[in-house]
Structure 1
Amino acid sequence: MSDTLTDSVALVTGASSGIGEATALGLAAQGATVALLARRRDRLDDLSARIEADGGRALVVQADVSDQRQALDAVESVVAQAGRLDVVVNNAGLMRIGPAADADLSDWDEMVSVNVSGLLYVTRASLPHLISAAADSPRGVADLVNISSTAGRSVQPGAAVYALTKFGIGAFSEAIRQEVLGQRVRVSLVEPGTVQTEITDHLPEPDRERLARRNGAMVPLAPADIADAVTFIVTRHRRVAVNEILVRAAEQTW
C-alpha cells in the first residue's frame, strides 16, 4: 500500500462492481479510507472485507443515488462516520440502447435519473465538504471526478439518450470546475471507451448482439484501466489539475 492519500476520505458511487469496484480498490491502495456506495449491500460488504484484508479502511453505504434523499443522506453519513470528505468519484451509471422511435420511456427516465440526477445529487451534497477538506488537507486540495464515456463526445445510432446524459456530465463538470477552482477543489472528467463491465448485462439480447457486432474482435478495457486514470488524477500535486482523460480500447475508433 501507498500512503499518498493517507488521512483522506474518498467516496465512490457505483462501487459494487466494474469501474467503481476497481476504483475503490485503487484508492484504498493509496491509503484513503474509501466509502463504498451502491444499492447491492452484499457486494459492498464483500468489497469492504477485501479492502480491510489488504490493510485498508472502508465504509459501506447502501443507497440509490437516483433518490434525492438517499443520495444526500449517504454523503452526510460518510462525513459523520469518517469526519471529512476529500475525494468523490461519481461513477454510478447505466446504459439502455435502441432506436428512439421504439424506446421504452421508462428506460430513458431511468438513465436520466441515475446518470444525471444521481450525479447532481451526490455532487451538490459533497461540494461543501470538499471545499472544507481542501482548506485543511495535508494535500492542499480536494477532488471531484466524474466518470463519463466516449458517448460524451461521439454519438452512435441507438444511443441518443445515453449520449445526452454523458454530454451533460461533461458540460456540468466544466461549469463546476470553473466555480470551485479558486477553493482548491479540482474537477475532472474521465471518459472511458469500451470496458468489460456489467453495464451491458441488463440489455435485451438483440442489443447485446448489436454491440458485440460493433465491437468485433476489439479487446475491451479492464475496469482497472479506468481506476488507474482516476488514481493518477487524485494523486497529482496540488499545482496540477488533470481536467479530462479520454481512455479508449486500443482498437476503438469512436
Structure 2
Amino acid sequence: MPPMSMPLEGKVALVTGASSGIGEAAALCLAEAGASVAVAARRAERLADLVGRIEAAGGRALAIAGDMMVEEDARRAVEETVASLGAIDVLINSAGVMQVGGIEGCDTDLYRRVVDINLMGTVYTCAAAVPHMVANGGGDIITISSLAARKGGAMTNAYSASKHAVNAFTDGLRQEVGGKNIRVTTLMPGATETEVADNIVDPGWRTAIKAHVAKDGAVKPRDIGEAIVFILSMPRRTNISEISIRPTIDTSA
C-alpha cells in the first residue's frame, strides 16, 4: 500500500477546465498525491505552464488543448490520456462557465453555451471514459457542480438550471455504474476564488460576481483540490456520492 502522502500513486487522472481555478488546483493536488495527470482546457499556454510546474516537482503530466463543449475535443482528451499515460482511472469534470441574466430579452445563445459546457461537456467526457474504466475494473468520476444546483435565482437561470442538470446526470451515472466499481461524486463548491466571473457578458454582474468569489473567507481552489484527493483516498467500498464545500462564514442554506 502506498504511503499516505502518495495515496494516488500509480493512478492516471484527466482534469478538464485545468487552465485555472479549481481544475488547475485539482491537477496540482492529484500530482502531489502521486497520480499522473492529463490536463485539458482551451488555453494551451496555461496548460503548458501547469505541466511544467508538475514536472518540475517530480510529477508526470500531459497537456491536451481542447474545448469540452465540442464532443470531438472531449472524447479526444480521454483517448489521448489513455494512449499517452496508459489508462484513465480518475476523471475530474471541472470545465464550466457562468452567465447571468433573466429570460426577458435574453440571448438564448448564452443559455445554450452554459448548458453545452456545464452539462454536455460532462456528458461527453463521461461517455468516453466509462468504457475504459469498465475495461480496467473500475475508476472514479468527480464532477464539479455548484451550490447553485440547490436553488434558483431570478437572474441566474441558465447557470442554476445547468447545475441542477449536472447533479441529476451525475447521480444517475453513479447508480448506473456503481456496480462496476466506478465511484461517482458530485462536488458542490460555494463561493470559491476563481476566474468564473471573467467571461460574464453583463459588466455589472461581472463586477458583482467577482466581488462575491473574492470576499473575505471565500474558499480557495486548493481547498477543493485537497477535498478531491480525500474523496479518492477513501476505501473502494465507500462512495462519497455528494459533498458541499462552502465558506465557514457563509451560513446560508
Unaligned runs of 5+ in 1: 136-140
Aligned position for 1:158: 155
Q: Is the 8 A contact 2:185 2:241 kept in 1?
A: yes
Tell me by how many angstroms 1:212 deviates. 6.1
Q: What is the RMSD computed on CA atoms of the aligned residues?
A: 1.7
Residues 150 and 53 (structure 1), Cα distance of their counterparts in 2 relative to 1, 3 Å cut: same
Structure 1 segment 85-104 matched on structure 2, within 5 A:
85-104=88-107
Moved over 3 A (4+): 209-218
**Equivalent position to 2:246, from 233, 245, 248:** 248
The alpha-carbon deviation at position 122 of structure 1 amounts to 0.5
Percent identity of paired positions between Structure 1 and Structure 2? 40
Q: CA deviation at 1:214?
A: 6.5
Conserved 8 A contact 1:14-1:20: yes
Letter in 2 for 1:194: A
| Structure 2, gaps ≥5 residues long | none
TM-score (norm 2): 0.93
Q: Distance in 1 between matches of 2:182 and 2:243?
A: 17
- Return the letter of the residue paired with 2:41: A
Query: TM-score w.r.t. structure 1 length?
Result: 0.93
Q: Matches of residues 39-118 of structure 1 in structure 2 within 5 Å?
A: 39-118=42-121
Are the structure 2 counterparts of residues 70 and 228 from structure 1 closer, same or farther at C-alpha, using a change threshold of 3 Å? same
Matched residue, 1:191: 188
The answer to whether the 8 A contact 1:91-1:146 is kept is yes
What is the number of equivalent residue pairs in this alignment? 248
Q: 1:218 touches 1:249 (CA, 8 Å); kept in 2?
A: no
Partner Cα distance (2:77, 2:207) in 1 = 37
For the structure 1 residues 217 and 199, does the alpha-carbon distance in structure 2 shift closer, same or farther, using more than 3 Å as the test? closer
Q: Which residue of 2 aligns with 1:119?
A: 122
- Counterpart CA distance in 1 for 2:131 and 2:230 is 24
Contact 1:190 1:229 in 2 (8 A): no
